[in-house]
Homo-oligomer: A and B are copies of this chain.
Amino acid sequence: MKIGFIGLGIMGTPMAGHILAGGHQLHVNTIGDVPSTLLSAGAKVCATAREVAAASDIIFIMVPDTPHVEEVLFAENGCSETDLHNKIIVDMSSISPIETKKFAEKVRQLGGEYLDAPVSGGEIGAQQASLTIMVGGKPEVFNQVKPLLELMGKNITLVGDNGDGQTCKVANQIIVALTIEAVSEALLFAAKAGANPEKVKNALMGGFASSRILEVHGERIIKRNFEPGFKIALHQKDLKLALQGASILGISLPNTATCQELFNSCVANGRGHLDHSAMVNSLELMANYKINHPA
């Protein structure tokens, strides 16, 4: 099968590599140079997104944000300048669920099919082909693309129609941010009250408060290990999608808003490049107190 891949950044490069390793022909396009690892694996470089689309049956997109997907699809030299009949666009970027529905509709009007398939699992998940992939689109289109998604990820779910994959990703990022914040408030309370935060964390892991985030990010917070992982600046972008979406949908997300303010404070203090568990630093600043790593 002829495959295209547009957007060869930190995520896209290893993902495209897995498709090549799966024995597929791959046409690629990206801003900047195509990594030599992909060239030596046989990737064919195209000058534009249009050329990628013209040469491929299934076109993957992995770019930073909503405007970039729009540009790849509909700007001059974009995918929509080629005939999209019998072609499937698979957007794996994390972008607006609301705009995604519009993009999917436009692609269908041009004769193509569309899946939104954002991922979680970060750079390591991309490298190890262990990404969680949340998909929106028609079941028959999903089934066609699934073998390719399985080259890149492990936990692959068709959530619903177009946009629902992106909606699921936003829901994921809301829960992750707010649970990091919950663990931060709890450990800050425990430490300032004089308890050993590590012992508190271990006691809580046995009960109803247990979660993967308490385990993994609780440990990071206690050990002061804020090397990313998943950077604050990226999670900030995802919460922006949540809060913009909430405004458009007409709902109120008070704790998502607070978490975004705490991320903003991290960035203001030069911490945007740290792991998102460093959100605890903003609460520590507010309290003029730092959780100590117990001896």
User: Which residue numbers of A lie inside 8 Å of B, CB to CB?
Assistant: 97-98, 120-121, 132, 134, 155, 157, 159-161, 163-164, 167-168, 170-172, 174-179, 181-183, 185-190, 192-196, 199-200, 202-204, 206-214, 216, 242, 245-246, 249-256, 258-259, 262, 283, 286-289
Decide: B254 and A258 in contact? CB cutoff 8 A.
Answer: yes
When C-beta atoms are compared, the residue in chain B nearest to A133 turns out to be B203
Decide: A172 and B209 in contact? CB cutoff 8 A.
Answer: yes
Decide: A250 and B210 in contact? CB cutoff 8 A.
Answer: no
Decide: A206 and B164 in contact? CB cutoff 8 A.
Answer: no
Q: Which 7 A-B pairs have the closest CB atoms?
A: A178-B182, A211-B211, A171-B186, A251-B287, A175-B209, A155-B206, A157-B203
**Between-chain CB contacts (< 8 Å), 21 pairs:** A157-B206, A159-B195, A159-B200, A160-B195, A163-B194, A164-B199, A172-B186, A172-B209, A175-B209, A176-B208, A178-B179, A181-B255, A185-B255, A193-B249, A208-B216, A211-B212, A250-B287, A250-B288, A253-B283, A255-B255, A258-B258
For the complex, what is the distance from the CA of A194 to the CA of B121, rounded to whole Å?
A: 25
Contacts of A209 in B (CB 8 A): 171-172, 175-176, 179, 213
Contacts of A164 in B (CB 8 A): 193-196, 199-200
For the complex, what is the distance from the CA of A246 to the CA of B262, rounded to whole Å?
A: 18
Contacts of A167 in B (CB 8 A): 189-190, 193-195, 200
Decide: B208 and A172 in contact? CB cutoff 8 A.
Answer: yes
Decide: A189 and B283 in contact? CB cutoff 8 A.
Answer: no
For the complex, what is the distance from the CA of A121 to the CA of B286, rounded to whole Å?
A: 33
Decide: A189 and B132 in contact? CB cutoff 8 A.
Answer: no
Contacts of A258 in B (CB 8 A): 254-255, 258
For the complex, what is the distance from the CA of A289 to the CA of B249, rounded to whole Å?
A: 10
How far does the Cβ of A159 sit from chain B's closest Cβ, in whole Å?
5
Decide: A188 and B289 in contact? CB cutoff 8 A.
Answer: no
Decide: A192 and B287 in contact? CB cutoff 8 A.
Answer: no
When C-beta atoms are compared, the residue in chain B nearest to A132 turns out to be B207
For the complex, what is the distance from the CA of A196 to the CA of B204, rounded to whole Å?
A: 31
Decide: B193 and A160 in contact? CB cutoff 8 A.
Answer: no
Decide: B203 and A245 in contact? CB cutoff 8 A.
Answer: no
Contacts of A203 in B (CB 8 A): 132, 134, 157, 159, 168
Contact of A207 among B120, B170, B178 (CB under 8 A): B120
Contact of A160 among B159, B196, B286 (CB under 8 A): B196
Given contact pairs A157-B199, A160-B199, A211-B213, enumerate 13 new A-B contacts (beta carbons under 8 Å).
A98-B193, A159-B200, A161-B194, A164-B194, A164-B195, A171-B186, A171-B200, A175-B204, A178-B255, A208-B213, A209-B213, A250-B288, A254-B262
